[in-house]
Amino acid sequence: MSKTNFTRRGLIKTGAATGAGLALPTIFTSGAMGFTNEPTGSTVKLGFNVPQTGPYAEEGLDELRAQELAVEHINGIGDGGMLNTFSSKVLDGTGILGKKVEFVTGDTQTKSDAARASAKSMIEKDGVLMINGGSSSGVAVAVQSLCQDAGIMFMAGLTHSNDTTGKDRKANGFRHFFNAYMSAAALGPVLKNVYGTDRRAYHLTADYTWGWTQQESIQASTEAIGWETVNNVLTPVGAGDFSSYITPVLQSGADVLILNHYGGDMVNSLSQAVQFGLRDAMANGKQFEIVVPLYSELMAAGAGDNIKGVYGSMNWNWQLTDEGTQAFVKSFGEKFGRPPSGSAHTCYVQTILYADAVTRAGAFNPCAVVEALEGFEFDGLGNGPTLYRAEDHQCFKDVLVMKGAENPTTEYDNLEIVEVTPVDQVIYPPNHPMFGGDEASLGECNDGA
């Protein structure tokens, strides 16, 4: 078989398949066009920019699964998933505004530079109108500001730092995922119930922006319930062995350890804390406890038995029983043979929300989409009634407080839902000091024209 022949045949075939619906990208501000990457053919392209290499690669792959599913549902393939339960009914399975949705994927490598390079290639080469995905706040902020400058939409994936919709908020960027403040606000009352008000907390914090905002938030909310903060120790990212940070904890007079870590760092610090006997120890006459403010399924799986009984929070979990969740889990589970993770959920929802907003606005112009999303209230996407707040483009919805399950039956239910904290308890004013105060501003929406 000759290789040249082989590729040429492929070329002709695919050329015919997509040629008709050619959507030529126009790049950035180039004058004559209406707005960046205005779709002219019968298709519209979205960009899914997720980590495919590096420590968060699994999360990225799960996001990709969900995004692929969302595109199918929007294009009318499959069972429709959460489109059936979504309170807005404008999406009818014929794509977006009659244009079939296509997507391109890229690798963020969980590095701002690589993520921006990948996003730029999507914008410049593939002509995408919206970028979605990601698994860290640094990347989210970096890509968000790029999308703002380029004049396309950014629908954040997993990003938990307050900054994304705080001091780094942008008009073209929207976040469905919850944030450090909301995690802390939800956890506070629950921790008060289970561990009481007389506790002394020791923080280990990943030494970078997300870690700091997480720590700041949880410290504020635990102090609000009367806890004392003994110490806050910053640990290098990717430290691997946290022993030298863990050993001083028991001597410090603390009786709670709060791990402001994520990903591999959290898996290691939690496992090692358990290894050092912290969960079995008694301090100040009380059982020593560990809290992990932000959980994810993949982290929980990595930490294994060590998470048993450890409290944390999540944006969403497949074990919720509402209609939307059930529809999504069913359609995801049937396609991929596993329940979706929280990061998958948020990417799915963000893609649906974007498609819906475009349809409601009746236009792809990002400024119209922004307007459609701002202040949008919806339900049926798994988190109950939700508001996309206009002031900072943050979604407000209930927050899940989770606990490591004592007796998981499968590899997917090692976390259990302890409480669904109502949205009222986690809401905050848009000019909250942790969110950039009065200075924080979305700026003007940019359509690249």
Q: Which is nearer to other proteins, 345 or 372 (CB)?
A: 345
Q: Please state whether beta strands 311-314 and 289-294 pair in parallel, antiparallel, or not at all (unpaired).
A: parallel
Window 89-108: residues binding other proteins (CB under 8 A): 102-107
Binding residue (CB under 8 A) for other proteins from 116, 176, 397, 403: 116
| Spacing of C-alpha 125 from chain mean position | 26
Select the span of 75-83, 219-227, 386-394, 438-446 touching other proteins (CB under 8 A): 438-446
Binding residue (CB under 8 A) for other proteins from 92, 198, 305, 406: 305
Q: Which is nearer to other proteins, 362 or 443 (CB)?
A: 443
- Determine, following the binding rule CB under 8 A, whether residue 26 of this chain makes contact with other proteins: yes
**CA proximity to 44, closest of 29, 30, 63, 24:** 24
- Determine, following the binding rule CB under 8 A, whether residue 336 of this chain makes contact with other proteins: no
Binding residue (CB under 8 A) for other proteins from 38, 58, 255, 356: 58
Distance between CA atoms of 386 and 127, rounded to whole angstroms? 31
Residue spans of beta strands (DSSP E) within 93-245:
100-107, 130-133, 153-156, 173-175, 200-206, 228-235
- Determine, following the binding rule CB under 8 A, whether residue 83 of this chain makes contact with other proteins: no
- Determine, following the binding rule CB under 8 A, whether residue 330 of this chain makes contact with other proteins: yes
- Determine, following the binding rule CB under 8 A, whether residue 315 of this chain makes contact with other proteins: no
Query: Helix H segments across 276-398?
Result: 297-303, 323-336, 342-361, 366-373
Distance between CA atoms of 372 and 124, rounded to whole angstroms? 25
Rounded least distance, CB 208 to other proteins, Å = 4
Rounded least distance, CB 388 to other proteins, Å = 22
Q: Containing H/E element for 111?
A: none
Window 175-234: residues binding other proteins (CB under 8 A): 207-210, 231, 233-234
Rounded least distance, CB 299 to other proteins, Å = 8
- Determine, following the binding rule CB under 8 A, whether residue 15 of this chain makes contact with other proteins: yes
Distance between CA atoms of 309 and 90, rounded to whole angstroms? 43
Select the span of 81-89, 160-168, 360-368, 415-423 touching other proteins (CB under 8 A): 160-168
Amino acid in position 196:
G
- Determine, following the binding rule CB under 8 A, whether residue 70 of this chain makes contact with other proteins: no
Enter the tokens of residue 170: 């942008």
Window 245-304: residues binding other proteins (CB under 8 A): 245, 247-248, 251, 264, 267-268, 271-272, 275-277, 281, 298, 301-304
Residues 6+ away with beta carbon under 8 Å from 309: 279, 403, 404, 406
Q: Containing H/E element for 150?
A: helix 137-150
- 3-class secondary structure, 65: helix
Rounded least distance, CB 318 to other proteins, Å = 6
